[in-house]
Each structure stands twice: as C-alpha cells, then as structure tokens.
Amino acid sequence: MDNKRILYVSQEIHPYLPENEISKASLELPKKMNELGHEVRVFMPRYGVINERRHQLHEVIRLSGINIIVNDMDQPLIIKVASVPSARMQVYFIDNEEYFKRKAIFLDEDGNFFSDNDQRAIFFCRGVIETVTKLGWAPDIIHCHGWLASFMPMYLKKFHYDDPLFADSKIVFSAYGVREQEMPSTLIENLKFDGFDAEDLAKYENPTVESVNRAAMTYSDGTIIASENADPETKEFAENNVDNYLDLTIAEDPTQAIYGLYEQVSVEETIA
C-alpha cells in the first residue's frame, strides 16, 4: 500500500486514559502506521479525568472557536493537542465545557450511563470532522474506534459525501467488547434535528451501545471485530451484512491484517 493519510478517531487512547484493549490499540496502531511512513492524525475527547499538566495539553487557538449546534444548543468547540513521546506523534483533543469537563468518562458516580452520552458522541464526531476540514487535510482512510466514534461513518456518508475533502475517504469501524447499555432516548430526536431521513433514523430505534455499533457498520467501507468479548449479535451482524469484514481475534498478525483491510478498501471505487 502506498503511503496514505490515515485519520484515527477513538473514544479512548493510552496513555491519556488507563490501558485497556481499545486505548492500547488506539495508540499502537497509529504508532505503527506512522513508523511505516503513513501520515497520521489522531483524535479523542478531552475528558475531565485527563491531567492536562502532566500530559502537556495546550489549546490550538487557530483551530478552536467553531460552534457546533447539537439539538438547537450552540456548543463551542475547543481543540487541544499533546505529543506522545514514545510514538513521535500528536493527539488532538475535542473539548467542550458542557460535555467533557466532568471528572468521568461515560458513567456517573452511581455507575449509570450519562443521559447526554448521545449528544457527547455527536459533538465529538462532528467536532473531528469540522477540525479536519479546518486543517484542510484530506484523509485516505478514516478508522473509527468504539461506540463514541460510531456516528462518524453516518455523518461522513450522509452529509459530507460530496465534500471534496472526504469524497475519496474510506471508512473503517472497529467494534470492541462493551457492557450492553441503553443509549439515551433522546438520540433519535438529536439526529432528526440534523436532518437525517426516516431510513437512517430507523437504525437507531430503541438504541443501545451495540445497536449504534451495528448501524455504524452499515455506513462503513470496512468493519473490524476487535475484541474477543465483542457482542455475539454484533459479530454475527458483521459477518452476514457488511463487506470487507475482519475478525481480528483470529488474525495471526493483527497489524498486518488491518493493513490488508486498508489495502482492500483503498482499491474499491468510492460510491456516493
């Protein structure tokens, strides 16, 4: 595969959050692709639990200042950046006081899913798209990791399909093992506000974390089951309903398998 521009969008990245299967993969994969000579950009949310001083985050003034409307609420977008010394690459952080200042990631102190997690996910995904647009950086491959990034494929395929910056981008979505959890009931209302049609909205009726993962697969050019703990229904859906499917749990060399998937989706014609 020729050198590519690869955009990584993940809900968790080590060392900014504790190491787990998604945060580890979201560091190691872009690190490896960067070492192979590909041009890599990496995005994650700036959760309140991230120690900005320790990790030397600083605001990128020229990228901040955009406002994103989520269900008729105007929310300012703040962009921060930090370097990963061990990886020789930078990580961009999507920040907002309303959605990411709290000292928690997805659950409140009682272990309940935040009631605005749908809005946080939408803001994160749209924030990444707006920032990449402002950078004027056209990615060849966009690899989304985890349910918080699961709305990226739909927004890119439905709203940005004719944007020259993303017109030739190929989208890969990785699903991980998660606790089955109902999404906030406001999800469809929030998506409807952004103008999605009935066919799109139908995929998000009675939404759960796993169902939004499955919906993301239908808008993606490649799908990866990245965890042995992946939901069986989601895995079965991927096997039977999507093209360019990769079960990473049975791959002898995971990095090489993903590299092969990138090559596979790259040679296919883009269909708007």
Q: Mind listing the pLDDT tens digit for each residue in 75-119?
A: 999 999 999 988 889 999 999 999 999 999 999 999 899 999 999
Q: Decide if 213 is inside a domain.
A: yes
pLDDT, tens digit (0-9, with 9 covering 90-100), for 163-208: 999 999 999 999 998 777 889 999 999 999 999 999 999 999 999 9
Does residue 11 form part of some domain? yes
pTM of the model: 0.96
Residue 13, in any domain of the structure: yes
Percent of all residues in the chain with a pLDDT value above 90, rounded to a whole number: 88
pLDDT in tens, 133-158: 999 999 999 999 999 999 999 999 99
Whether 261 is in a domain gets the answer yes
Tens digit of each residue's pLDDT (9 = 90 or more) over 25-48: 999 999 999 999 999 999 999 999
Domain containing residue 114: CATH number: 3.40.50.2000
Number of domains in the chain: 1
Question: Has residue 272 been placed in a domain?
Answer: no
The three state secondary structure string of the chain is CCCCEEEEEECCCCCCCCCCHHHHHHHHHHHHHHHCCCEEEEEEECCCCCCHHHHCCEECCCCCCCEEEECCEEEECEEEEEEECCCCEEEEEEECHHHHCCCCCCECCCCCECCCHHHHHHHHHHHHHHHHHHHCCCCCEEEEECHHHCCHHHHHHHHCCCCCCCCCCEEEEEECCCCCCECCCCHHHHHHHCCCCHHHHHHHCCCEHHHHHHHHHHCCCEEEECCCCCCHHHHHHHHHHCCCEEEHHHCCCHHHHHHHHHHHHHCCCCCC
Residue 145 domain-assigned (yes or no): yes
Structural domain of residue 98, as residue ranges?
A: 5-266
Question: What pLDDT sits at residue 39?
Answer: 96
Instruction: Let me know if residue 271 belongs to a domain.
Output: no
Report pLDDT for 71. 84
For residue 183, is it within any domain? yes
| Percent of residues, the chain, with pLDDT higher than 70 | 98
pLDDT band at 269 (very low <50, low <70, confident <90, very high): low
